[in-house]
């Protein structure tokens, strides 16, 4: 018989405290729907009354199938529950549940609240009663619980017991400063369960020692049945417990999956990678390549001996199958890889070739030679595919670039302002047609060159209309003014949503950029099935 384990997401509240994160109302609504579709039980939307966005969010129903939760303080010391504007905002909010944050460390009660220990307990009692009186489900976040317990266990337990006895559905034990270790969490939660049943306890862990996920799992082992966390581990300072790691661990690791059920279905689990990256897109952040389960490198193999084993059986170097979390397996081609890496990558892109074909050895030699001068095919699999196709003779001669010119001019314009104008001119030949000349003005040389290059490709123009450059990264590979430059360009097909990366290397940054741009265009033509 399995037990139900509840997931509580605080991305929209605690996650919004991340440096550089500022959710709009539209953002919050999109994320709330995403969380509900994933199968999260509780969604904490924010703090009504604290800012206009959260106030507007709780002014109406959101239409999501989850327990939508408002967050706020217990009544202020010295005020009654009926005469506290902050509490009134919470009670009036359109929310299914209210999560009160309450001090549970006697040091904070005296120093931060400047009140007595008994008055703090009275605030918890009165707030829970007021919310229950309005028909709301009640949660109480016992702030700084673990530090409070270590300093004064009797008082920390009194705060938790008060919330429980007054009828709070969940008493949440918070490691607010994030400094508690897993063995401490497990021991202290075990003590709390002697006073408050585990099916009424939750855990809220911060990641200041890189152990928020471990602490959450330790709390579950000790008895708690609700876990609070955020998408991609967002949160103030070092973040909160990462639900993108917790969910698959709970569903795929037998120690937990045999004992507990969560609201996330197998289909929801398979959407994790998409959800994680959708959030990063909304925040205009690059995904954490090395994030467990959902990171682009989570199921990537570079070493040749590992690749050889994975080709025989992926389980040799994978603890779960990547597709269960919506991710994918990659075997990188690099100067550290061998024939197995090359064969695996060729098979992935649909190029079937005999493992004893001598061209495999030749391709590997070229890869190692080119990586020695700066190319990075593990970061640019599209350029590797083109390199392989060219060596195998499967790339049509779509476009011949006869010449290009980029001019950067710094001048004073007609309004008397200093401006920098960049113009690129490209001359190309498509098949036996007459040469085509295109010019474009851009924000910078690469932008101008990109616009000019894609302005007119004759018979291939319709194939590249949906192509756009979405990221541009430059790395200087050695010092000095004659440094070799590596350019990585990420491109996206608006029609399919596909994204790929190409690479160029040259002492001249414009030339390196041009190589990567041309590879991107040719790759798009191949993917689109353009005739040669």
* pLDDT tens per residue across span 103-123: 999 999 999 999 999 999 999
Please say if the pLDDT value at position 471 is more than 70: yes
Distance between CA 21 and CA 370 in Å, rounded? 40
Closest among 400, 397, 377 to 388, alpha carbons compared: 377
Look at domain 3-264 and name its CATH class.
Answer: alpha beta
Predicted confidence at residue 311, as pLDDT, reads: 57
Predicted confidence at residue 89, as pLDDT, reads: 95
Predicted confidence at residue 341, as pLDDT, reads: 66
For residues 294 and 274, the answer to whether their CB atoms sit within 8 Å is no
- Output the six-digit token pair for 360: 């495999």
Q: What average pLDDT does range 210-215 have in this prediction?
A: 98
State pLDDT tens for residues 319-376.
999 999 998 776 555 444 556 667 777 777 777 788 788 888 888 888 888 888 888 8
Predicted confidence at residue 298, as pLDDT, reads: 86
Say what percent of the chain tops pLDDT 90.
68
Tell me whether strands 400-412 and 330-331 are parallel, antiparallel or unpaired.
unpaired
Mean pLDDT of the chain: 90
Indicate the pLDDT class of residue 74, thresholds 50, 70 and 90. very high
**What is the full DSSP assignment across 338-402?**
-HHHHHHHHHHTT----TT-HHHHHHHHHHHHHHHTT--TTT-HHHHHHHHHHHHT------EEE
- Output the six-digit token pair for 99: 């999560």
The model scores a pTM over 0.85: no
Q: What average pLDDT does range 517-531 have in this prediction?
A: 93
List, by residue range, all CATH 3.20.20.70 domains of the chain: 3-264
What values do phi and psi take at 517, rounded to 5? Answer: -65, -45
Q: Which residue has the higher pLDDT, 154 or 468?
A: 154
Q: What average pLDDT does range 469-488 have in this prediction?
A: 80
State pLDDT tens for residues 186-195.
999 999 999 9
Please say if the pLDDT value at position 315 is more than 90: no
Please say if the pLDDT value at position 246 is more than 70: yes
Residues 108, 110, 113, 117, CA torsion sign = positive
Indicate the pLDDT class of residue 497, thresholds 50, 70 and 90. confident
- Give the distance from CA 261 to its chain's centroid: 25
List, by residue range, all CATH 3.30.160.270 domains of the chain: 399-528
Predicted confidence at residue 461, as pLDDT, reads: 93
Distance between CA 232 and CA 273 in Å, rounded? 10
Q: What average pLDDT does range 241-252 have in this prediction?
A: 98
Please say if the pLDDT value at position 97 is more than 70: yes
Predicted confidence at residue 90, as pLDDT, reads: 96
Predicted confidence at residue 267, as pLDDT, reads: 95
C-alpha separations of 26 from 32, 96, 233, 326, 479 in Å? 10, 20, 21, 26, 46
Q: Which residue has the higher pLDDT, 146 or 418?
A: 146
Look at domain 399-528 and name its CATH class.
Answer: alpha beta
Q: What average pLDDT does range 448-460 have in this prediction?
A: 91
Indicate the pLDDT class of residue 310, thresholds 50, 70 and 90. low
- Give the distance from CA 279 to its chain's centroid: 6
Q: What average pLDDT does range 219-228 have in this prediction?
A: 98
Indicate the pLDDT class of residue 281, thresholds 50, 70 and 90. confident
Query: Which neighbouring-strand residues pair with 153?
Result: none
b/e burial code for range 215-236 (CB count within 10 A of at least 16 → b):
bbbbbbbbbbbbbbbbbbbbbb
Among 169-178, 324-333, 367-376, 421-430, the minimum mean pLDDT is found in 324-333
State pLDDT tens for residues 250-274.
999 999 999 999 999 999 999 999 9
Say what percent of the chain tops pLDDT 70.
94
Predicted confidence at residue 308, as pLDDT, reads: 56
For residues 342 and 367, the answer to whether their CB atoms sit within 8 Å is yes
Please say if the pLDDT value at position 98 is more than 90: yes
Please say if the pLDDT value at position 80 is more than 50: yes
Q: Which residue has the higher pLDDT, 102 or 499?
A: 102
Q: What average pLDDT does range 282-299 have in this prediction?
A: 86
Indicate the pLDDT class of residue 498, thresholds 50, 70 and 90. confident
């Amino acid at each position: 018989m399995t037990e139900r384990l509840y997931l509580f997401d605080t991305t929209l509240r605690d996650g919004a405290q991340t440096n550089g994160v500022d959710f709009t109302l539209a953002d919050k609504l999109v994320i709330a729907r995403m969380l509900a579709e994933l199968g999260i039980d509780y969604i904490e939307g924010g703090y009504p009354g604290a800012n206009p966005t959260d106030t507007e969010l709780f002014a109406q129903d959101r239409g999501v199938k989850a327990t939508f939760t408002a967050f706020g303080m217990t009544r202020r010391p010295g005020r009654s529950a009926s005469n506290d504007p902050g509490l009134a905002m919470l009670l009036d909010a359109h929310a299914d549940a209210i999560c009160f944050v309450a001090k549970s460390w006697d040091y904070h009660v005296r120093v931060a609240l400047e009140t007595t220990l008994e008055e703090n307990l009275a605030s918890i009692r009165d707030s829970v009663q007021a919310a229950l009186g309005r028909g709301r489900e009640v949660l109480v976040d016992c702030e700084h619980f673990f530090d409070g317990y270590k300093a004064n266990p009797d008082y920390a337990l009194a705060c938790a017991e008060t919330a429980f006895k007054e009828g709070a559905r969940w008493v949440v034990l918070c490691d607010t400063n994030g400094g508690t270790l897993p063995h401490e969490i497990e021991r202290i939660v075990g003590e709390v369960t002697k006073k408050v049943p585990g099916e009424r306890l939750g855990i809220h862990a911060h990641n200041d020692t890189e152990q928020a996920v471990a602490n959450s799992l330790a709390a579950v082992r000790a008895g708690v049945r609700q876990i609070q966390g955020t998408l991609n581990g967002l949160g103030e300072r070092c973040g909160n417990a990462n639900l993108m790691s917790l969910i698959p661990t709970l569903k795929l690791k037998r120690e937990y999956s045999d004992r507990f059920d969560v609201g996330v279905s197998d289909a929801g689990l398979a959407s994790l990678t998409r959800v994680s990256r959708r959030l990063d897109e909304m925040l205009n952040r690059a995904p954490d390549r090395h994030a467990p389960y959902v990171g682009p490198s989570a199921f990537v193999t570079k070493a040749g001996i590992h690749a050889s084993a994975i080709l025989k059986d992926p389980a040799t170097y994978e603890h779960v199958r990547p597709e269960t979390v919506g991710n994918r397996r990659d075997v990188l081609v690099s100067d550290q890889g061998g024939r197995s890496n090359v064969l695996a990558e060729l098979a992935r892109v649909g190029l079937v070739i005999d493992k004893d074909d001598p061209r495999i050895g030749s391709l590997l030699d070229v890869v190692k030679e080119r990586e020695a001068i700066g190319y990075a095919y593990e970061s640019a699999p599209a350029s590797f595919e083109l390199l392989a196709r060219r060596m195998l003779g499967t790339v049509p001669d779509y476009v011949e670039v006869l010449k290009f010119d980029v001019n950067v001019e710094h001048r004073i314009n007609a309004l008397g302002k200093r401006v920098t104008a960049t113009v690129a001119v490209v001359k190309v030949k498509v098949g036996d047609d007459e040469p085509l000349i295109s010019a474009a003005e851009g924000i910078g040389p690469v932008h101008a060159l990109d616009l000019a290059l894609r302005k007119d490709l004759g018979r291939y123009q319709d194939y590249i209309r949906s192509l756009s450059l979405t990221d541009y990264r430059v790395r200087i590979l050695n010092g000095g003014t004659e440094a070799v430059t590596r350019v990585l360009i990420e491109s996206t097909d608006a029609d399919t949503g596909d994204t790929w990366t190409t690479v160029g290397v040259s002492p001249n940054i414009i030339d390196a950029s041009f190589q990567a741009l041309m590879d991107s265009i040719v790759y798009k033509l191949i993917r689109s099935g353009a005739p040669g």
